[in-house]
Each structure stands twice: as structure tokens, then as C-alpha cells.
């Protein structure tokens, strides 16, 4: 009998990371249905696919805001007065703590590890866009622009 870890074509299995990205984009996050579909398409056990989704930090198994604000808390961002100040500011402005989403579902605030922007810190990722050399003013501008898309 084949187990979840060994069954299937190895080359097919290597599509798993990409498949999870696609499913996440289609469903918004990795819902039970999304995970089950990926598992059945690649011939893997559902638990096996979940173990992947929970290992890699870019996969989400819960609903997120339309924009995920990921503030870098790495050392180089911290040294130039970044992480804490920006998270405090964003938290107050949006009325949420790190890990929470605004009531309108627009923003989720997160603290993340090094974004490799140490020479241009402080830095923040918003979905797939990277913002560097951040100031409170720049953060305001970014939020305003993003809100502008949803008026």
C-alpha cells in the first residue's frame, strides 16, 4: 500500500507549491475545499497537503484582508527605528493589532521576518509589492492609495 508521502509521481508532487499558490489565489486562502482539490489533482493525501500549507508561511489557511500589510521586524529595520514604530502607527490608525484584520476586510496587519531590504529599511510588503525607506508619511500615502481603489 502506498502512503501519502510516497505515492504518486515525484515530478507531479513538485508542482505542489505552485498548485497551492494557484488555489490560494482562486479561493482567497486555502479553504478546506481548496486543499482537497489540490490533493485530489496531485494524487496526495489531504493531510499531506495541509502539512505543506502549514509549513510555509506564505500559505494562508484563514481568510485575510484584501491587503496584507507585512511590516519587517528584522534587525536592520529595527535599528533604524522601523518595525515597532510602524506597527504601532499602523495598529493605531487601523484599530487592529498584529495578526488582526480591519472590520471592512481591507487590511490585515502582520509582522514578518527579514524581507532582504536591510539597506533600504524600514520595509513593508503589501501583498506582492515591496515598499522601502518607509516613513509615517509614506505609510499614510500607501494606505490612502489602497483605500482609494475601494471607494
Place of cell 494524487: 43
- 75-92 in b/e burial notation, b at 16+ Cβ within 10 A? ebbeeeebbebbbebbee
| Of 47, 58, 63, 136, the one binding other proteins by CB under 8 A | 58
Q: Determine the interface stretch with other proteins among 28-36, 86-94, 96-104, 116-124 (rule: CB under 8 A).
A: 116-124
Q: Is residue 122 part of the contact set for other proteins (CB under 8 A)?
A: no
Cis peptide before 91 (omega within 30 of 0): no
Residue 83: CB minimum distance to other proteins, A: 8
Q: Is residue 116 part of the contact set for other proteins (CB under 8 A)?
A: yes
Contacts with other proteins in 16-55 (CB under 8 A)? Answer: 16-18, 20-21, 51-52, 55
Alpha helices in 2-31 (DSSP H): 10-13, 16-27
Q: Is residue 115 part of the contact set for other proteins (CB under 8 A)?
A: yes
Q: Collapse the DSSP code of 94 into the 3-class scheme (helix H, G, I; strand E, B; otherwise coil) and give the result.
A: helix
Task: Single out the residue of 127, 111, 109, 110 nearest to residue 78, CA to CA.
Answer: 111
Q: Is residue 10 part of the contact set for other proteins (CB under 8 A)?
A: yes
Site of interaction with other proteins (CB under 8 A): 10-11, 13-18, 20-21, 51-52, 55-59, 73-76, 78-80, 113-121, 125, 128-130
Amino acid at each position: 500500500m502506498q502512503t501519502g508521502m510516497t505515492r504518486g509521481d515525484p515530478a507531479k508532487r513538485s508542482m505542489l507549491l505552485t498548485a497551492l499558490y494557484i488555489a490560494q489565489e482562486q479561493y482567497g486562502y486555502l479553504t478546506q475545499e481548496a486543499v482537497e482539490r489540490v490533493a485530489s489533482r496531485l494524487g496526495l493525501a489531504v493531510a499531506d497537503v495541509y502539512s505543506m500549507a502549514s509549513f510555509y508561511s506564505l500559505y494562508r489557511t484563514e481568510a485575510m484582508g484584501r491587503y496584507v500589510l507585512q511590516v519587517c521586524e528584522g534587525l536592520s529595520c529595527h535599528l533604524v527605528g522601523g518595525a515597532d514604530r510602524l506597527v504601532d502607527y499602523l495598529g493605531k490608525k487601523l484599530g487592529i493589532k498584529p495578526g488582526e484584520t480591519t472590520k471592512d476586510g481591507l487590511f490585515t496587519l502582520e509582522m514578518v521576518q527579514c524581507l532582504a531590504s536591510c539597506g533600504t529599511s524600514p520595509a513593508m510588503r503589501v501583498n506582492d509589492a515591496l515598499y522601502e525607506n518607509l516613513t509615517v508619511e509614506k505609510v499614510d500615502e500607501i494606505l490612502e492609495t489602497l483605500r482609494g481603489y475601494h471607494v
